[in-house]
Amino acid sequence: MSSAAPTYDLGKLHGGLRLPAEKAESTAQQIQRMPVPKQIVLPIAQHVGEPAHPIVGIGENVRRGQLVAENWGSLSAPVHASTSGKVVAIEPWPVSRRFGNNAPCIVIDCDGEDLALESPDKGAPYKTYEPTELLERILQGGIVGLGGAVFPTGQKLMQARSMPLEFLILSGVECEPNISCDDRLIRDQSAEALGGAQILMHALNLPSCYVVIESDKPEAINAVGEAMAELDDKRIVLKQVPTIYPSGGEDQLVQLVTNREVPSGGLPTDVGCVVQNVGTAAAIYRWICEDEPLISRITTVTGPGVREPMNVLARVGTTVADVIDFAGGYNEGVDQLVIGGPMCGKSVSTDRVPLVKATNCILALTNTVIHDEPLPCIRCGECASVCPIQLLPQQLYWHTCADDEAKLRTYGLTDCIECGCCDLVCPSHIPLTAEFRNAKARMQELADEKARAERARRRFESRNERREQEKLDRDEELRRQKDNARKAGPEAIEEIVRRQRKKHDQQEDGEE
Ligand code: SF4
Ligand code: SF4
């Protein structure tokens, strides 16, 4: 079908690296569905923004799909029970470092029944919703960006709606080594991902959609081609792109697919594009068409430290230990566990951490190479040649060492996407990305502190202004009453002064 024909008119991506894929083992078999574990652990912060607010109590029975923590504040996403059981604790639990080392979690002892919450909306066709209703509903489903950003999708789309939009870019690009959950999702669940794309196009009134897949994934390309032929929606077009890390980043993908450059500090919507991951689109389809909120995800469990590398469909809240068990257990000599891929992943110190909405990969490593102390920079320029943002990592590094915030801003530290390319090529083994990540965190802390101080200053000033005004009002009132009393004689004046003093003292006490 013509709609499935690949197109190659691509934009150019600066830098990047061609990395060995290491995905053959984990993609060899279909997605394996994990049984319900004995216990699930649901962090209330699984997304960018404010943590959700628990609305269940200890001892309460819950059902699959039931809301257990509601979104809180202007940027947040709700959390739903991923199976039925009893809430046994709401307490700090080890989590992936992205959300702090320990974070509040709702712990549920599963009853094994997996009873679902019944809903009257089940199966309502998406076109029966107004676009704004659809966006609100997407927010309620706890859907977040599954490509790694975990930004609440409903809010991202609401923001996008105010912009003139042209393209939905449905990303199946999975350029980081070892991670293959999106590849396997496209092979096994293309129809759901394309169904999600249609919902998104309806919600945002978008005229066209590019499904983007790397050219070294022929099975995924065939699978999506067949699904597109069946759907026969001419608005949806397949684009193949070369496998270059980090072409899966939103801005890089926009550049590659549309040849439009997202401005520094801007968003893809600034150039008419909305980027969504294929997993997010499939999750939207399941929520809107099958009434299943985001309670499970496909995760790659792989690496030399795991016996049977595979992609599992696991409930959100399943511990990494349970997932590894399901994949045949550990091999001898595991010395590092990483959540995410080898480039952007974060190592964890325990397999008690739960799988969350963001967990695209669990990587068990053996014989990890630990470099000695980094050597001095030799100004080879390799880091700059691979930086996809065209930054100058060696200069940024000097300014991080000097803690020079102004220079760091001038040299574009806030644009760094922490891809790790500069680290990988640095012959001096300087941990550039870690330095940049820390420097960004410090800058954010300073900005937060400044904002807090500014709020306190404004509070103090308005309190002083209020007190000053009250004092003026009191003096005015006293003057007025004295004038009146002068006519009534000295005793009346004394009484007024006594009353005013008492009132003043009471007000002072109240303020203290
Ligand atoms: S790659 Fe490393 S050694 Fe070379 S310029 Fe960059 S920081 Fe310096
Ligand atoms: S980590 Fe930052 S500075 Fe280094 S290559 Fe990636 S974007 Fe450039």
- Percent share of the chain, pLDDT over 90: 79
Q: How far apart are CA 198 and CA 133, in angstroms?
A: 15
Measured from the Cα of 384, ligand 1's closest atom is 6
pLDDT bin (cut points 50, 70, 90) of residue 512 is low
Q: How far apart are CA 154 and CA 131, in angstroms?
A: 11
- Give the residue, out of 17, 387, 426, with the most ligand 2 atoms within 8 A of its beta carbon, to mutate for a pocket test: 387
- Work out the average pLDDT over 44-65: 95
Choose among 98, 63, 21, 26: nearest CA to 357.
Answer: 98
Task: Enter the tokens of residue 421.
Answer: 């390319």
Please state the pTM of the whole predicted model: 0.85
Q: What is the mean pLDDT of the chain?
A: 91
Nearest CA to ligand 2 atom 8: 387
Q: Is the pLDDT of residue 294 over 50?
A: yes
- Work out the average pLDDT over 390-404: 95
Report the pLDDT value the prediction gives residue 149, as an integer from 0 to 100: 79
Q: What b-and-e string marks burial along 333-363, b requiring 16 or more CB atoms within 10 Å of the CB?
A: ebebbbbbbbbbbeebeebebbbbbbbbbbb
The dihedrals phi and psi of 105, each to the nearest 5 degrees, come to -135, 150
Q: Is 418 in the pocket of ligand 2 (CB under 6 A)?
A: yes
Nearest CA to ligand 2 atom 1: 418
Task: Enter the tokens of residue 249.
Answer: 């980043």
pLDDT bin (cut points 50, 70, 90) of residue 10 is low
Nearest CA to ligand 2 atom 5: 387
Q: Is the pLDDT of residue 405 over 50?
A: yes
Distance spanning both ends of the chain, measured CA to CA: 77
- Tell me the ligand closest to 393's alpha carbon: 2
pLDDT digits (tens, 9 = 90+) for 449-469: 898 899 899 999 999 999 999
Contact call for residues 503 and 478 (beta carbons, < 8 A): no
Measured from the Cα of 381, ligand 1's closest atom is 5
Contact call for residues 175 and 215 (beta carbons, < 8 A): no
Q: How far apart are CA 235 and CA 220, in angstroms?
A: 20
Strand (E) positions, 186-235?
208-214
Lowest-pLDDT choice from 52-61, 76-85, 299-308, 444-453: 444-453
The dihedrals phi and psi of 28, each to the nearest 5 degrees, come to -65, -30
- Work out the average pLDDT over 301-327: 98
Q: Is 422 in the pocket of ligand 2 (CB under 6 A)?
A: yes
Contact call for residues 322 and 39 (beta carbons, < 8 A): no
CA 417 to centroid of ligand 2, rounded, Å: 6
pLDDT bin (cut points 50, 70, 90) of residue 5 is very low
With H, G, I as helix, E, B as strand and everything else as coil, classify residue 172: coil
Report the pLDDT value the prediction gives residue 448, as an integer from 0 to 100: 86
Q: Is 420 in the pocket of ligand 2 (CB under 6 A)?
A: yes
- Work out the average pLDDT over 380-409: 95
CA 14 to centroid of ligand 2, rounded, Å: 12
Q: Is the pLDDT of residue 386 over 70?
A: yes
Lowest-pLDDT choice from 79-88, 142-151, 385-394, 398-407: 142-151
Contact call for residues 82 and 322 (beta carbons, < 8 A): no
Q: Is 421 in the pocket of ligand 2 (CB under 6 A)?
A: yes
Task: Enter the tokens of residue 248.
Answer: 């899966």
- Work out the average pLDDT over 412-434: 95
pLDDT digits (tens, 9 = 90+) for 199-239: 999 999 999 999 999 999 999 999 999 999 999 999 999 99
Count the alpha carbons within 13 Å of 488 in the hemisphere toward its beta carbon.
11
Nearest CA to ligand 1 atom 2: 426
β-pairing, 310-315 vs 296-302, is antiparallel
Q: Which strands sit side by side in the sheet containing 346-348, from one edge to the other?
A: 32-33, 310-315, 296-302, 361-366, 334-339, 346-348
Q: How far apart are CA 139 and CA 173, in angstroms?
A: 24
Choose among 93, 126, 87, 94: nearest CA to 108.
Answer: 87
CA 433 to centroid of ligand 1, rounded, Å: 12
CA 373 to centroid of ligand 1, rounded, Å: 15
- Tell me the ligand closest to 390's alpha carbon: 2
* Residue listed under structure tokens 């029966």: 128
- Work out the average pLDDT over 488-499: 76
Length of the chain: 512
Helix ranges (DSSP H) in 78-234: 131-140, 153-161, 181-204, 218-231
Contact call for residues 427 and 378 (beta carbons, < 8 A): yes
CA 472 to centroid of ligand 1, rounded, Å: 66
CA 41 to centroid of ligand 2, rounded, Å: 34
- Tell me the ligand closest to 379's alpha carbon: 1
β-pairing, 67-70 vs 53-54, is antiparallel
Q: Cis (ω within 30 of 0) for the bond into 246? A: yes
With H, G, I as helix, E, B as strand and everything else as coil, classify residue 206: coil
Nearest CA to ligand 2 atom 2: 416
Nearest CA to ligand 1 atom 7: 394
Report the pLDDT value the prediction gives residue 479, as an integer from 0 to 100: 87
Nearest CA to ligand 1 atom 3: 377
Report the pLDDT value the prediction gives residue 8, as an integer from 0 to 100: 46
Q: Is the pLDDT of residue 3 over 50?
A: no
Nearest CA to ligand 1 atom 4: 380
Contact call for residues 482 and 474 (beta carbons, < 8 A): no
Measured from the Cα of 432, ligand 2's closest atom is 4
CA 77 to centroid of ligand 2, rounded, Å: 29
> 241's torsion region: left (phi>0), alpha (psi -120 to 50) or beta?
beta
Measured from the Cα of 379, ligand 1's closest atom is 5
CA distances to 225, 388, 408 from 247, rounded to whole Å, are 22, 9, 25
Contacts of 23 by beta carbon, 8 Å cutoff, 6+ apart: 177, 178, 179, 180, 183, 302
Contact call for residues 222 and 229 (beta carbons, < 8 A): no
- Work out the average pLDDT over 168-174: 96
Orientation angle between helical segments 218-231 and 181-204, nearest 10 degrees? 30
Choose among 200, 75, 193, 81: nearest CA to 137.
Answer: 200
CA 424 to centroid of ligand 2, rounded, Å: 10
With H, G, I as helix, E, B as strand and everything else as coil, classify residue 68: strand
CA 426 to centroid of ligand 1, rounded, Å: 5
pLDDT bin (cut points 50, 70, 90) of residue 95 is very high
pLDDT bin (cut points 50, 70, 90) of residue 308 is very high
- Give the residue, out of 380, 396, 424, 436, with the most ligand 1 atoms within 8 A of its beta carbon, to mutate for a pocket test: 380
Q: Is 419 in the pocket of ligand 2 (CB under 6 A)?
A: yes
pLDDT bin (cut points 50, 70, 90) of residue 275 is very high
Q: How far apart are CA 507 and CA 285, in angstroms?
A: 60
pLDDT bin (cut points 50, 70, 90) of residue 502 is confident
